[in-house]
Structure formats: C-alpha cells, structure tokens
A and B are shown apart, each in its own frame.
Chain A
C-alpha cells in the first residue's frame, strides 16, 4: 500500500550544493508531478510528466531539473541550491491528467532547508 514514496524526508543543504529528491510510485500512473509548498502560498507546480521520456515545465521550474526514464520514477534535481529553494517539496502522481478530472495522489513531502 505504498502509493507515492519520496526521499529524503528532511535535508539541509549549503548554498551552491546540489541534490536529488527521489520519487517513486507503484500505482502505474502515467502522470507525475513535483510541487513546492511555501508558507501561506499554496502549492506551485515545478515540473510534470505525462509518461516515460516526457517532461514539461510548470509554474516555477527555474533552478530545477527532472527526468522520467521509467513509469515509476520521477527524480527532481536541484542545481546550485539557493535560500529561495527552502521549501517543502511534494511528489505526486495521477492515472490521467487533471484536465480530465483525475485525482492527484501525493507523497508525504520532503522538507528542504538551504543555509
């Protein structure tokens, strides 16, 4: 009953360091997403993917990269971390697009602090 699993749960990075947030889902969903949640700001879409080998930018893609080599995995890479990337990151997946009313299933979040 795993659903969407993301690691690590907590991480402290120094300015300029890079890291990858891992995300995997076991529901065979085609769509996967990365969101960030800042206090009082709701969730903002960073990147999304409609299937293996296909990715696209969301609202706030700068400073991030993604890849989708398999249906299950959708890692998010932070290059040259900046304090503005301090946030809670959520990976999510859905069987189809939200434009056809599909429900998005979220992971439990990764708390990232850049100092």
Chain B
C-alpha cells in the first residue's frame, strides 16, 4: 500500500516570495506522483506529474517539483508566488501498474499575503 504525508497543513507566504510545499511518500513498489491544486469552491486540477525520466518536472502556472527517490520526496516549488496561487495543494501517489487507487495527502493550504 502507498501513503502520502504532507508535512505542512498551512503555509503563509508573502507575495513574490518563493515557496516550497513538502510531500513525502511511502511505497514498496515504484510509483507515479502527482500534485493537484484546488481553488476555493472548485474541483481539483492537475498541476504536474512525475512518471519517469527527468526528476525535475515542470507544471502549469510556474510550478515545478523534484522527485527524490532516496528521500522518497516530491516537493513542490515556485520561485515567486502571486495572489492567485492561494489554494489548497494535494500531493498524490499511485502504484505503477497497480490497482486503480490514487492515494492523496491531507493537503497544504497556501495563503499569499499581499
């Protein structure tokens, strides 16, 4: 079975400052990793995903994440945040060629301070 830990439930950041949202996972098999974003009162949408290849993955809205197999981490970063980045961010993991279960973390609420 897979599990995901998002270490910070809330992260306040000043506008135009950098941000890192942390995600660690646990799995006995190879995994695919995802970051989803949920804007207020909306559904989730995909920010980026890691399937294979380069460990640095670039996504939408200037976000990127780095897969670190030895540390079992998939942290999300953005060099300069904007007010519109205020949202909840979910890290998720699925087992490669496993069952159809996407396991989500508990989410990190990113608040941008003007």
Contact = CB atoms under 8 A, between A and B. Distances in A.
Interface of A: 4, 31, 40-45, 48, 50, 56, 58-59, 90, 92, 97-101, 103-109
A99 B95 contact: yes
A2 B34 CA distance: 23
Interface of B: 4, 9, 32, 34, 36, 41-46, 49, 51, 90, 94-102, 104-107
A99 B97 contact: yes
Nearest to A56: B100
Nearest to B109: A40
Given A48-B100, A99-B97, A106-B36, 15 more contacts: A31-B100, A40-B9, A40-B107, A42-B104, A42-B107, A44-B104, A99-B100, A100-B96, A101-B32, A101-B51, A103-B49, A104-B102, A106-B43, A106-B45, A109-B43
A108 B44 CA distance: 8
Contacts, number: 66
B46 A98 contact: no
A97 B96 CA distance: 10
- SS class of chain A's interface: helix, strand, loop or mixed? mixed
A43 B100 contact: no
Contacts of A59: 101
B100 A103 contact: no
Contact of B99 (A90, A99, A108): A99
Contacts of B98: 99
A70 to B, nearest CB: 19
B83 to A, nearest CB: 22
A92 B34 CA distance: 15
25 contacts: A4-B43, A40-B9, A40-B106, A42-B4, A43-B90, A44-B104, A90-B43, A92-B43, A98-B32, A98-B94, A98-B102, A99-B32, A99-B95, A99-B100, A100-B96, A100-B97, A101-B51, A101-B94, A103-B34, A104-B102, A106-B43, A106-B45, A108-B43, A109-B42, A109-B43
